[in-house]
Amino acid sequence: MSIVKFEDIDTERYYIASCLEGPDYWKAIPESWLHHDITKLTYLELKKFLEPPYSSYPSRDLALEKCENVDVKLFIAELSSIKVDKSLSHAKVYDLYQMYANRKLYDLAKNMLNELTGVGKAEELVRKKITELSELVNPFEVGLRQRRFIYDDATSRWEKYRERERNPIQPDVIPYNIEEFDKYTNGGLRKSHIICFFAGSGGYKTKLKANLAYNFSFLNKKDVMVITLEVPIEDYSVVIDSRHALLDFNEIQRGGLGIHKEQYRKALIDIYKSKPSLYMVDIPGEATSMDIAAEAEIYYAKFGKYPDVV
């Protein structure tokens, strides 16, 4: 077995270095493909902010700035000496997989004898090995495919429930605060959800989105970033104002509030004093998703965190 390569720190280092070359060279892999503690730790740290869609411009400088682990920082600095051949960086991913597959196959073979002499039935062992070997045929499905009878883990499911009962899971949900929306979305907006609204011109899309932004920020106290491509930022702001003042948007726009203008003034004073975390961005109409990702990075640079809702 000496000719079989099970691990190679240089290959793992090269893979991490290539990930830092830019979004076109980032390749997500199962962490089990990495053998060395430092490469595995660095990969997990980089995934937090270099893997799309968190940043469109991953770099060593960004990694050094955001990583808090000193060992990871030192390792990333060390990687700066590696010259990445961009025509070969993808091939290194297959080298990582080959080393993982060799290691996995060797472990399966080494443990087979002990497992055969155990109490379990032969067919159960075969079923288990088929599952493990199928992961080597479909490397990107490692851990995703499982095969078992419903009774195989009934006891463990009960134990999991007991543990969950002791420590109830709090769903990461932001209510829309619109009854029908919350009803049909099981409580509200979840992290990574994308919602789309379709309507013709004058179909109240902007006002609906502005009201959702208001609910998320003013009612739920979340950090919200509104990005507008077509509606001027001033008009968007006035929609928010009209909601907060409970006054007609058109009356504010045309200066027709009359006796209600004092109500509008008080609403603006309240917004100024309470400073809700509702951040407005107006970008060109020809912008792409990369512009939106860049705005998220600028927000992070300014406030040290990403918005809860965009």
The helix (run of H) or strand (run of E) holding residue 93 is: helix 89-116
pLDDT per residue rounded down to tens, the chain (310 residues): 456 778 889 999 999 888 888 777 778 888 888 999 999 999 998 888 777 665 545 567 777 888 888 999 999 988 888 888 877 766 688 888 888 888 888 888 888 877 777 656 777 788 778 877 877 776 666 555 566 778 878 888 888 888 878 887 777 788 888 888 888 888 888 877 888 888 888 888 888 899 999 999 999 999 999 998 888 888 889 999 999 999 998 899 889 999 999 999 999 999 999 999 999 999 887 888 888 888 888 888 888 888 999 9
Please tell me whether residues 86 and 201 are part of one structural domain: no
Same domain flag for 109 and 199: no
- What does the alpha-carbon distance between residue 179 and residue 118 come to, in Å, rounded to a whole number? 58
What DSSP designation does 38 have?
Answer: H
Query: Could you tell me if 296 and 187 lie in one domain?
Result: yes
CATH number at residue 282: 3.40.50.300
For the record, the structure tokens of 69 come out as 């682990």
85, 100, 118 — which closes off a domain? 118
- Could you tell me if residue 33 is inside a domain? yes
- Residue 16 CB coordination number (10 Å): 22
The range of the structural domain enclosing residue 63 comes to: 9-118
The sign of the CA dihedral 56, 57, 60, 65 is negative
* Residue 147 forms part of a structural domain: no
Asked if the structure places residue 239 within a domain, the reply is: yes
- 71 located within any domain: yes
- Which residues make Cβ contacts (< 8 Å) with residue 212, sequence separation at least 6? 176, 178
One domain for residues 113 and 194: no
Last residue of a domain, one of 74, 94, 118: 118
Q: Would 152 be classed as within a structural domain?
A: no
CB 103 within 8 A of CB 66: no
Q: Tokens standing for 232?
A: 């001027």
Number of structural domains, the chain?
2
DSSP assignment letter at 139? G
Read off φ and ψ for residue 102, nearest 5 degrees.
Answer: -60, -45
In a domain, 153, yes or no: no
Contact in structure between 229 and 283 (CB atoms under 8 Å): yes
- For residues 107 and 195, membership in a common domain is answered with no
Helix axes 37-47, 70-79, angle to 10 degrees: 100
- What is the rounded distance in angstroms from the CA atom of residue 181 to the CA atom of residue 284? 30
In a domain, 217, yes or no: yes
State whether 200 and 299 are in the same domain. Answer: yes
Same domain, 205 and 110: no
Q: Of the residues 70, 91, 118, which one is the last residue of a structural domain?
A: 118
Residue 190 counted as domain residue = yes
- What's the predicted TM-score (pTM) here? 0.49
